[in-house]
Structure 1
Amino acid sequence: MARDTPPEKIELTTEWVLRLTEAQPRLLSFLLKRLGNPDHAHEVLQEVNLVICRDANKFDEGTDFMAWAFTIARYQTMAFRKRQSRDRLVFPADLAASLDRLDSEMFTNEVCRLRETALQECLVSLMPVQRKLVIQRYAESLSVKAIAGELDKSANAVSLMLHRVREKLLTCVESKLSTEPPR
């Protein structure tokens, strides 16, 4: 592209923004597994988001958005590793390849849908106070300290409550998935 040529204007639809927003937790998890550092994962996630938005017109509608996004994330991870190659804590490439293989086996779209459905059902089964706590912390991204202030409890008490709710949800989801009929 010539220097005086302005970049192509990108129009992102509401549907596209929602799709990208829904992909964030899975992309972050994907990056965390490969980079092992939350700061690095968030940094690369921002790069991934920029590429996804910049290349939105290259996505073939009707194909698997998450597969396309994961491919971009893989390339951005490799680029980040190359930039960070002098860092002793970079995961070796063979470990990254093993994680990619495990992801493709364990986290198909169908498996993720089943897990999401199970989690939604388990959230509904929580007591209202527990559900509100989960929503405040994870959907509204309130800090434990902020929730503690609202509930007039210590941050440690709220952390313990969250821990117990997460354990309850994990047990519930695992139970639902173990009784799920094979498809």
Structure 2
Amino acid sequence: MNQIPHEQFVSLLARHHSLIRGFIGTLLPHQNDADDVFQQTCLVLWRKWDSFDETQSFSSWACGIAFYEVKNFQRVQSRDRHYFSDEILSLIAAQQSTALPEAEHRQRILQHCIQKLDAESRKLIQDCYHGDLSIKEVAEQTGRSCDALYKKLSRLRLRIMDCMQQTHHSAEMGS
């Protein structure tokens, strides 16, 4: 039985949410279906949490479960011709699974580069990309025009992209 506290489950799920949701999105053509399967996957992950082996990758484990949830969903929806066959689904999932370590690596580099920004810039990114406020509301809150906010975000994205490229290049040179 896994002795990792359940709080870690929530932390890992929050950290890998986009990766798991993106994986499901590559397997299902309709966003509403992918959202439904993601919710179901989260429930199954929670139910199976005690069987998670902490020595393995959480995202690989979660995407493996998500794959079977997609297959279950498609079996139920099998009358609809808009879904991939099991063979195609397996090929796509295999390709995505091989990309998971690289995606996790890029996610870590992104977080590293965001942390290098000043507190105001980090908050701005959080508010604009992860918050519930619209760009207009964030602009009003920060005393900027929408145009000025878009320009600031564009400059921040360029800084983050440069940092990610330099960090990735440095990592390649170090290997």
TM-score range, shorter chain: 0.7 to 0.9
Give the helix-richer structure, 1 or 2: 2
Match for residue 4 of structure 1? none
d(CA) in 1 for partners of 2:109 and 2:75? 39
| 1:79-106 residue CA offsets vs partner (Å, 9 max, x unmatched) | 1222333445434444433332222332
Whole-Å Cα distance in 2 between the matches of residues 50 and 95 of structure 1? 26
**2:31 aligned with 1:35, yes or no?**
no
Alignment match of 1:178 (pick from 163, 169, 173):
169
Identify if the C-alpha distance between structure 1 residues 29 and 157 changes in structure 2 by more than 3 Å, giving closer, same or farther. farther
The answer to whether residue 100 in structure 2 is matched with residue 103 in structure 1 is: no
Query: C-alpha displacement at 1:51, in angstroms?
Result: 0.7
8 Å contact kept, 1:118–1:176: yes
TM-score, normalising length: structure 2: 0.74
Uncovered stretches (5+) of structure 1, i.e. residues with no partner: 1-11
Residues in 2 aligned to 1:124 and 1:64: alpha-carbon distance in whole angstroms:
23
Q: Which has the higher contact order (CA 8 A, sep 6+)?
A: 2
Unaligned runs of 5+ in 2: none
CA distance in 1: counterparts of 2:158 and 2:32, whole angstroms:
26
Secondary structure (helix, strand or coil) at the match of 2:133 reads coil
Closer/same/farther in 2, CA of residues 122 and 79 from structure 1, 3 Å limit = same
Distance change (3 Å), C-alpha of 1:145 and 1:39? farther
Length, aligned pairs only: 170
Q: CA deviation at 1:177?
A: 1.0
Distance (whole Å) between structure 2 residues aligned to residue 62 and residue 71 of structure 1: 16
8 A contact 1:122–1:172 mirrored in 2: yes
Which amino acid in the other structure matches residue 93 of structure 2? D
Alpha-carbon contact 2:59-2:100 (below 8 Å) kept: no
Q: Is the 8 A contact 1:114 1:177 kept in 2?
A: no
Task: Identify if the C-alpha distance between structure 1 residues 41 and 171 changes in structure 2 by more than 3 Å, giving closer, same or farther.
Answer: farther
Matched to 1:132, the amino acid is: K
**Equivalent residue, structure 2, for 1:119:** 110
Secondary structure at 1:100's aligned position in 2?
Answer: helix
Paired with 1:40 and 1:165, the residues of 2 have a C-alpha distance of 34
Compute the displacement of 1:115 (Å): 2.0
Match of 1:83 in 2: 76
Percent of aligned pairs sharing the same letter? 27
**CA root-mean-square deviation:** 3.0
Q: How many Å separate the matches in 1 of 2:151 and 2:83?
A: 33
Match of 2:51 in 1: 58
Decide which of 23, 32, 41 is 1:48's aligned counterpart. Answer: 41
Shift of 1:152: 4.8
Distance 1:41 1:64, change over 3 A: same
Deviates more, 1:27-36 or 1:57-66: 57-66
Q: Distance in 2 between matches of 1:106 and 1:96?
A: 15
* TM-score computed with the length of structure 1 as normaliser: 0.72
